[in-house]
Amino acid sequence: MKKAIEKVLVVNSGSSSLKYQLFDMKSEKRLAKGLVERIGAGGPANHAEALKQVVADLGNPKDIDAIGHRVLHGAEVFKDSVKVDAKVMAKLKKLVKFGPLHMPANLGGIEACQKIFKGVGNVAVFDTAFHQTMPDCAAMYAIDEKYYKKMGIRKYGFHGTSHKFITQEAAKLLKKPLSKVNLVTCHLGNGSSLAAVKGGECVDTSMGLTPLAGLVMGTRCGDIDAAAVLSIMEEEKKTPAEMDKLLNKQSGLQAISGVAGGDMRDICTKAAQGCKKAELALEMWAYRVALYIGAYNTVVGGADAIILTGGIGENSAEGRERVVNRLGALGIKLDKKVNAKTRGVVATISTKDSKIPVIVLPTNEELMIAKDTVRILG
Ligand code: AMP
């Protein structure tokens, strides 16, 4: 009889760092976590070396049953998590163009694990997979179809593992079968996205071909008129790479507020001190979140709940207040007391007489990856 999968290692392999968590799947408890930094930049030479450090940190474990990997992009090829074999790896390598920064690191992490943990199954879990149920009317861009056919230009969406986790948890909390639950899930962190979830499946999401689209984020602009991008490139003679940096790294909350890094806490502090730019940044941020909540409530045909998660969604009472105060038209009122004291725990922050509850629900992407790993291998 096949041994049950008990210990699962979750690996999140980035371009210069490798994060890991070890789970006991009987209790779904985390046994260990850690981070190896400066890969290829003074620390370990590559992901295989980084992984050797992880193995040493974990005390040379012999009982890891399976490994789950966070992978940025599955495009339309992978609609669900998948066990990685040679065929799958070949397909994954063809998707590097969708994430030239992240994908080589993600795949490097998988290859390192295949070498070091011989005979242990590896599962790829994609940030995009949860959104693969979007209908064409939500996923396609209104441009010549040849760009979709030739280059795969369409909306994919990201943070899918987080949206999936909070969708499953919300269904349990609301005591509804997953197939009957309608939600607007809001992952609000440094990078942020919303998902419209109908019958437990994603029907729209705010990020697009890349994570640049949608909400105002820490350093990303979110939605912008594409013609504005062209004007700036023309006026300042910027290359695509320079424009990419401007929109992804030098925009968003950081650009509006002038607060380096665009961290929500710093911006709230500045706004409280009377900084008008910081105040505008917060209002633009909240406005865009509320705008999408309203739209997605319509898309799902009326949500059973609005779920907030991510660093800001879980922890920032001020950020949440600014969003929820804009949802009056949906019959939602903020419970100020509960909101003020809620940090990193499950809580309903709307008043009891609100038409739709607003629920803070901490995400756990690593546990979701571990659970998917068990499901796929089990
Ligand atoms: P994430 O990308 O999910 O880690 O979220 C990062 C964002 O969460 C940053 O903008 C932080 O300022 C914000 N954040 C984290 N902790 C808190 C907190 N205690 N209060 C307010 N914002 C927070």
- Output the CA 313–ligand 1 centroid distance in Å: 8
- At 358 the pLDDT is 99
> Does ligand 1 lie within 6 Å of residue 263's CB atom?
yes
Q: Are strands 18-24 and 29-36 parallel, antiparallel or unpaired?
A: antiparallel
Position 135, amino acid: P
- At 269 the pLDDT is 98
> Rounded CA gap, 227 and 225, in Å?
5
Closest listed residue to residue 212, CA positions, set 245, 188, 255, 242:
245
> Does ligand 1 lie within 6 Å of residue 206's CB atom?
no
Global pTM? 0.97
Position 108, amino acid: G
> Does ligand 1 lie within 6 Å of residue 53's CB atom?
no
Superfamily of domain 176-365: ATPase, nucleotide binding domain (3.30.420.40)
> Does ligand 1 lie within 6 Å of residue 192's CB atom?
no
- Nearest-CA residue for atom 15 of ligand 1: 311
**For ligand 1, what atom is nearest to the CA of residue 253?**
10
> Rounded CA gap, 239 and 231, in Å?
12
> Does ligand 1 lie within 6 Å of residue 333's CB atom?
no
> Rounded CA gap, 327 and 297, in Å?
11
- Output the CA 319–ligand 1 centroid distance in Å: 10
Is-same-fold flag (7-126; 176-365)? yes
- Output the CA 300–ligand 1 centroid distance in Å: 28
164 touches 194 (CB < 8 A) = no
> Does ligand 1 lie within 6 Å of residue 189's CB atom?
yes
> Does ligand 1 lie within 6 Å of residue 205's CB atom?
no
> Rounded CA gap, 251 and 236, in Å?
16
- At 1 the pLDDT is 61
- Output the CA 342–ligand 1 centroid distance in Å: 13
**For ligand 1, what atom is nearest to the CA of residue 266?**
12
Helix, strand, coil shares of the chain, percent, nearest 5, are 45, 15, 40
- At 3 the pLDDT is 78
Write the CB contacts of 375 (distance below 8 Å, at least 6 apart in sequence). 81
- Nearest-CA residue for atom 17 of ligand 1: 315
- Output the CA 265–ligand 1 centroid distance in Å: 7
Question: Ligand 1 pocket: which of 282, 315, 345, 364 to mutate (most atoms <8 Å of CB)?
Answer: 315
Helices (H), the chain: 47-57, 86-93, 103-116, 136-139, 146-151, 160-173, 226-236, 240-249, 252-257, 264-272, 276-299, 310-315, 317-324, 336-341, 365-377
What would you report as the CA-atom Rg of the chain, rounded to the nearest whole angstrom? 21
User: What residues are labeled active site?
Assistant: 127
Sign of CA dihedral 188, 163, 16, 5: positive
> Does ligand 1 lie within 6 Å of residue 312's CB atom?
yes
> Does ligand 1 lie within 6 Å of residue 203's CB atom?
no
- At 15 the pLDDT is 85
- pLDDT by residue for the chain (378 residues), tens only, comes to 667 999 999 999 998 999 999 999 999 999 999 999 999 889 999 999 999 999 999 999 899 999 999 999 999 999 999 999 999 999 999 999 999 989 999 999 999 999 999 999 999 999 999 999 999 999 999 999 999 999 999 999 999 999 999 999 999 999 999 999 999 999 999 999 999 999 999 999 999 999 999 999 999 999 999 999 999 999 999 999 999 999 999 999 999 999 999 999 999 999 999 999 999 999 999 999 999 999 999 999 999 999 999 999 999 999 999 999 999 999 999 999 999 999 999 999 999 999 999 999 999 999 999 999 999 998
- Nearest-CA residue for atom 22 of ligand 1: 316
Query: Domain spanning 7-126: which CATH class is it, in words?
Result: alpha beta
> Rounded CA gap, 6 and 366, in Å?
15
- Nearest-CA residue for atom 21 of ligand 1: 316
Domain boundaries, the chain: 7-126, 176-365
> Rounded CA gap, 37 and 22, in Å?
18
Helix (H, G, I), strand (E, B), or coil: what is residue 44? coil
Question: Ligand 1 pocket: which of 265, 285, 308, 322 to mutate (most atoms <8 Å of CB)?
Answer: 265
